[in-house]
Amino acid sequence: MSDKKPLSIIKIGGNIIDNPVELSEFLSDFSKIEGNKILVHGGGKSATKMAQSIGLVPQMIDGRRITDKPMLDVVVMIYAGEINKNIVAQLQANNTNAMGFSGADGNLIQSTKRNHPTIDYGFVGDVQKVNTPLLQTLINSRIVPVFCAITHDKKGQLLNTNADTIASELAIAASEAFEVTLSYCFEKAGVLTDVEDENSVIQQINSALYDKLKTEGAIHSGMIPKLDNCFNSLSKGVQKIKIGHHKMLKDETAIGTSIEL
């Protein structure tokens, strides 16, 4: 039996953030989770809408955003500004003492600019390290950190970073001191074999089944980096990972997909 205290890390994305009613319901449920917790959020759809409204054309490759300088300005404004602070304000309204962070704040998440042999991702960051002592101090101070999908390179450059990866890296870092449960919440009931069929939830998935479904094309796009992060987290000390609709936070009967090595 572990003597570590439990820690819930929850990442929200997709249509939850874009839907004020869904977001309000989620934040109310999140506030009711007992004990230590961290919230990580994306916001890609909002950033895409803002970019298009000022004439930028968003580009995605395998579920990851190409981020040139104008797009970086947009995602920093939307992720670290509008979305992050609105979430923190709503959590305060739910009596949850939250603080909003980018990776630059307190040097909490340091990244390097992605160096890919064939694709120029622009100002996209790959996480190098988490400031684990400060993260533990925040949690032990009963602060609820709310992280957006922005990190930095410690040379003055902000970087757009996959929110699923941020959640995974925070979970790995926190697992040194806590028994971590990582939940990826979005608008679907779990990992689906058919994205049009909510009843096609894969209730449990291991690495062998994942490889098979990727080869068959049943799992693709943004679900690939999400699941890659899940398996990486489990291999590095995270206790439990689940993907599904945010209702699974309060409803034990909600299906969701459990991830196993």
Q: Which residues are annotated binding-site positions for substrate?
A: 43-44, 65, 160
Q: Please state, in angstroms and as integers, the Cα–Cα distance from residue 258 to each residue in 17, 195, 230, following that order.
A: 23, 17, 10
101 closest CA partner among 190, 183, 166: 166
261 closest CA partner among 246, 240, 245: 240
Residue linked to tokens 């319901």:
25
> At a CB cut-off of 8 Å and minimum separation 6, what does 62 contact?
221, 224, 225
Query: What residue numbers does the annotated binding site cover?
Result: 43-44, 65, 160
CB 8, CB 181: distance < 8 Å: yes
CB 9, CB 40: distance < 8 Å: yes
CA distance 102 to 145: 10
CA distance 75 to 185: 21
Within 10 angstroms of residue 47's Cβ, the number of other Cβ atoms is 25
Would you call 239 helix, strand, or coil by DSSP?
A: coil
Q: Please give the single-letter amino acid code of residue 153.
A: D
> At a CB cut-off of 8 Å and minimum separation 6, what does 189 contact?
198, 201, 244, 245, 254, 255, 256
Q: Give the DSSP H/E element, type plus range, for residue 107.
A: none
